[in-house]
Chains A and B, each alone.
Chain A
């Protein structure tokens, strides 16, 4: 996806066990922050 030109911080991968609540919160916060910083997606969005 990065190779195609999608911004590096827009796509995230993580492995979180159902027992890892703290990690879940951390990852979600981090994902939200980095995607917010990038602003709305302009690439790979179908117009209309």
Chain B
């Protein structure tokens, strides 16, 4: 991890110095433990601010939308897939980008960590596969595997699918994971239980829209929830409106979501946001053999018609 950061600083400073890019989008240390924040570095001298550890869960592709500059961007597997999605959707041009690929070893779920310790966390240090959590006078060590985000546990694309530079050798891919166990669990419920499952899931939602703002797919200039003429949805935390927001947003991500987990990472209420998008992701894979953002050549399923598309639901 430390070597990643050094290499990222070195490559970023070099790109800026040689005037190959106008800025580099990466992460700097946040003011709280386990919360690195995205930043844009424009001077080679500032490249030292860039960091890389297991708290870089936010998807940086969000910051590319409609940018005109030449940009260097640090990309782990999911970011790279969202960069491809941005390119397909004409939100950025490949020629503008210099992609610094990071083979990802998974990101930490800060909620998992803070729920597992009974002290206030002052510092979190990573050493190899261990995560050392420090408080005032106390310390606890976890295996990184125990505290990974749920989407990182089942990730099968940790290596960037598109890049110009790589900061390290690609990491081994664990193909032997059951990606959709959680979705199947919901599918097997009857309709009332499913209704209740989402009712419980959303009961905490405060409609802050952090999920939408962090999502690289949510780049509409005016989101449907913010429209007032017509007003598609009520703006309060009414259960029906909240459900309307989450399901509509999920539909807007159909065939585009890379399961990067940004929405879940930024949710201040700890809602399992991926429960909405993951079903659609599973359907896209099963019905259209589609995984979003793997290349820029193939058109997305909602963008192309094939006579053999499944249509059993149409009577």
Which residues of A are in contact with B by a Cβ distance under 8 Å?
2-8, 12-15, 27, 30, 43-47
Contacts and interface: CB of A to CB of B under 8 A. Distances in A.
A28 to B, nearest CB: 11
B253 to A, nearest CB: 14
B306 interface: no
Contacts of B116: none
Contacts of A12: 315
Kindly list the 3 A-B residue pairs having the minimum CB-CB distance in the complex, ordered from nearest: A5-B195, A5-B194, A46-B240
A13 B313 contact: yes
A29 to B, nearest CB: 12
Interface of B: 186-187, 191-198, 234, 238, 240-241, 243-244, 247, 279, 313-315
Interface centre among A13, A27, A30, A45 (most CB of B within 10 A): A13
Tell me the dominant secondary structure on chain A's binding face. Answer: loop
Contact of A27 (B186, B196, B244, B315): B315
B240 A4 contact: no
Contact of A45 (B192, B194, B240, B315): B240
A8 B238 contact: no
Tell me the dominant secondary structure on chain B's binding face. Answer: helix
Contacts of B195: 4-6, 43
Contacts of A15: 314
13 contacts: A3-B186, A3-B187, A4-B247, A5-B192, A5-B196, A6-B195, A14-B314, A14-B315, A30-B315, A43-B195, A44-B243, A45-B240, A47-B240
A2 B240 contact: no
Contact of B191 (A2, A14, A27, A47): A2
A9 to B, nearest CB: 10
Contacts of B315: 12-14, 27, 30
Interface centre among A6, A8, A12, A43 (most CB of B within 10 A): A43
A2 B186 CA distance: 11
B91 to A, nearest CB: 29
A4 B198 CA distance: 7
